[in-house]
Amino acid sequence: MLVAEAVALLAPRPNGIYVDCTVGLGGHTAALLEAGAGRVIGIDRDRAALLATEARLGAMGDRLDLIHADYRELPRVLAERGLTAVDGAIADLGVSSLQFEDAARGFGFRQDGPLDMRMDQSGGPTLAELMNGADEVTLADVITRFGEERHARRIARAVMRAQERQPLARTTELAAIVRRAAGGRGWQRLDPATRTFQALRIWVNRELEGLDVFLEAAVAVLKTGGRLVVIAFHSLEDRIVKHTLRRLGAHDVVTVLTPKPVVPSETETRQNPRSRSARLRAVEKLA
């Protein structure tokens, strides 16, 4: 999403080193390489995403280095490769199409799948495991904080009652409980389960935890004049990005290149409706 806009801001050079902190299906990485980037280091915590990108771009050889890691491990990843600074970095936050469209990953609720939701399936608890160990207060807090759902208490109560009868295991089962608890009749623009599923996904993957620290670290590893591009997909995420980058700008660490976020064109939103909520922000390092 926003591939052309991101590449234009990063302005890759033949001798430049760039980091794609969230490779996904490799869209931004491919565009950077095609635009002339000398080398791209691609990071993702989803091994399936790395395999897909390797199959797509493996011919790039030593211009592409794919690494299984969390983007918050950026300083370690670079240090292990003997790099102290890079020319640019991009982080496309949120769920990738690969994850969302695979029912077996459990991110969506329109197809039946297990209550997993882990971006990194190599470790960590699944959603089902987290819910088995949670109480109603904890679950309501998660749905309120990460989903901004006004019916959070009612939903948490209904989910916990269902859990007491039999531990929930499937996405469609959970979605049906959430819809009934959230209420609402007739056509609704947003499925009543959307906010709750977003909240649970953020909870499982700790998506907001350390995001501000990552942004500071990403700026720290840029060369003078290097640029960082960040794409966020929901208000909680974008709020952290906006305030962190503005704070760094206020301290003369960076120049904010996007006073207002860049949003997808009408053409892109028609072709990919999921891009509607994308917000791109960018900065350039001063020193």
Q: What's the whole-model pTM score? A: 0.94
Query: What are the φ/ψ torsions at residue 143 (nearest 5 degrees)?
Result: -70, -35
Same fold, 3-94+208-285 and 123-205: no
Superfamily classification of domain 3-94+208-285 = Vaccinia Virus protein VP39 (3.40.50.150)
Task: Please state, in angstroms and rounded to a whole number, the distance separating the CA atoms of residues 130 and 143.
Answer: 13
Please name every residue paired with 19 in a beta bridge, in sequence order, or none if there are none: 41, 89
Q: Under 8 Å CB-to-CB from 106, ≥6 apart: which residues?
A: 113, 114, 115, 116, 117, 126, 127, 171
Per residue in 11-41, pLDDT tens? Answer: 999 999 999 999 999 999 999 999 999 999 9
Per residue in 74-128, pLDDT tens? 999 999 999 999 999 999 998 888 898 999 999 999 999 999 999 999 999 999 9
93 within 8 A of 230, measured Cβ to Cβ = yes
The third-level CATH classification (topology) of the domain covering 123-205 is DNA polymerase; domain 1 (1.10.150)
Task: Sketch the domain layout of the chain as residue ranges.
Answer: 3-94+208-285, 123-205
As a whole number of Å, the end-to-end CA separation of the chain is 29
Q: How confident is the model at residue 187 (pLDDT cuts 50, 70, 90)?
A: low
Average pLDDT of the residues of the chain: 95
